[in-house]
Each structure stands twice: as structure tokens, then as C-alpha cells.
Amino acid sequence: MTGDPSTRSAPSGRDRYSRQRLFAPVGTAGQERIAASHVALVGCGALGTHVAQHLARAGVGRLRICDRDFVELDNLQRQVLFDEDDVKANLPKAAAAAAKLARINSAITVEPRVVDVNPGNVESLIQDVDLVLDGTDNFETRFLLNDACVKRGKPWVYAGCVGSYGMVLAVVPGETACFRCVIGEMPAPGSSPTCDTAGVLGPAVGVVASLQAAEAIKLLTGHRDALAPGLVTLDVWSNSQQTFKAARDPSCPTCGQKRFDFLEGRAAGAATSLCGRNAVQVVPPPGASLDLADLEQKLLKVGAVSRNEYLVKFIIEDVEVTLFPDGRAIVKGTDDLVRARALYARYVGS
């Protein structure tokens, strides 16, 4: 697409962003900054679909959506960009979201990336953006994003939601506390509630994502002074909200000592349990790739196989295995990392 998205009109000839321009802190200058911006969204599930829609409707010029997963029926309760047709088509979330957003706002550019964000690719995915938004469901990827954004000097906004509770934190490297300043070390497995154990309330997701999108718009329009001064927490069931002020910690391994443990792979794993899915993602070594058409033919000997341009899916024993061109697999029906890796080795290769 060409031209300035801030000046393109809706088909009726009216200014799409007129109400947003009327809000004084945004105005015409702020709208132009939004239109010229490039944002990376990492994760397009519950929070990600909400915040992506907010930014598309706000007129962000270019939105890169990075997600490793595909749409399933139980996503539809809270992941607002998807519908039953996406489930039937086995569409990756990034691709399905991009198609919906193109119909919401054809004046912006949406770039879907069906990819697992990991130490090997995260810097290339964020190097040319103005802002990074967290739509992930695990602490390992959030600590990785924090490493990459602090190293590259990229502002980013963390958000998390479980049950009826949520949190938002805007990070401006060199100015504010970073994610590791606030959280400390990565929580031990099983020490924090997840959507596996606590579920998630759809309206809570919407509230948290709206706060995250508001922080994003403040950053994109240059109003850093309006950012929350620390970690915002809320609970829509108990009707509570608090802001915990946070200052930079000079001894922080990431922003204080410039030690990037997650980015350099010292804290990363090759297999990860997926929140709320009874599933494991298996990640091959860097540089791996799969020929989906060839793989489909090989797997026909195993049983029923389905394929589209994005993935191959088959069922073996009591689990469902979904394979992507970058060599990744999502093994659904088990949370046993060892078993998932063994199935991958048996049917795809070590």
C-alpha cells in the first residue's frame, strides 16, 4: 500500500480518525505519528487479538503480527479476531488475524509472520519497529522480549491476564524499570497461576488489552509522561485496580548489567508447554525447514493427514501433531515434554 494512512479517508469520504483527532493529546500531529509508526505484536491470542484490533482501528501504519499457533475452537471465547471458519480452515492465528484486520482497515499494512519467536530470530523481528507489544502466554518469551528490547533500545508493553486478574507494564529502555527489574527472576514452573489452573474471563482480557493499547498510543504519540509509573494490576471480579511504582534497579542483570541471559540462549528450552492447551511446542535447531507437501506424503502411511499452505496435521496414538514449515511442531494431548520430543524425533526426525 502507498500513501499516508493518516490522510486516507473512509469510502464515505469522512475522516476515519476524526474522533481520535479530537482528543487533544492525540490531535492531528499525534495521528500522523501513529500513521507513520511500525509496531510488532508478539503473540496473537486473547490479549493479542484485542490489542491488534485497537491499533488497526487507531491507524497504526504497519503492524507485524508474530504468532506460532493456529486457531482452535476454544480460542473463540476470548480471541476476538477469529471465527468458526478459521477453525475449520486450520488457519494460523497470524494469517487469520491479518485477514480480519485488512477488512477492518484497508489503509494500514498488516504483516503476518507464522513464526516462533526465539533467541535466534527475535532481534530481526523487532529491529525495524518503533514499539513492541506482548501478547504471549509464557514468562520465557517475555524475558526474551525484555532482553531484546533493552539491547535494541525499543520500547515495549507487557500485558498478562489469567482468571479475572491482569497486569500491564510499559518499558522504555534507559528511562523506566525494565521487566526484569520488576519481576526479578523467572518464576519457577507451577509457582504462578495459569489459564490451565485458573481459566480466563473474556471481559478481563478486553480490559487488560485496552490498557495495554492505551499505553501503546501514548508511546507512539510521544506522550511518555502520561505512562503509568509502574506495574498496573486489576481484577474485574473484585473491582480493584492498583499501580505499583517501579524504579530502575542498577543491579538488574538486564538493564543494569547489560547481561542478556534469555537472548543469548542461556535460559531457553527446546520444548515448551503451552498455556491452557495440554500441548507442547517442540522447536528444532536454528535453520530447520520442512517441505509440507513431501511430509504429507510420508505421513499418509501413519494415518489421516491434512495440509494447507501453512501447516500439516496428523493424529498418532492419542495426540494431534501440527507441523509448520519452520520445523516447529505443536503436540496436543500431552504436557509431557519428553514424550513430545520423542514423537517429533520418530515422525519428523531428530
Report the catalytic residues. 195
User: Phi-psi region for residue 3, left (φ > 0), alpha (ψ -120 to 50) or beta?
Assistant: left
- Classify residue 166 by burial, with Cβ atoms within 10 Å: 0-12, 13-18, 19+: buried
Collapsing DSSP to helix, strand or coil, 282 comes out as: strand
Q: For residue 338, give Cα distances in angstroms to 69, 323, 343.
A: 20, 17, 9
331 touches 282 (CB < 8 A):
yes
| CA separation for the pair 76, 90 (Å, rounded) | 14
- Classify residue 301 by burial, with Cβ atoms within 10 Å: 0-12, 13-18, 19+: exposed
Neighbour-count burial for 45-80, b at 16+ CB within 10 Å, e otherwise: bbbbbbbbbbbbbbbbbbbbbbbbbbbbeebeebbb
Question: Residues near 136 by Cβ (< 8 Å), separated by ≥ 6?
Answer: 42, 43, 117, 142, 145
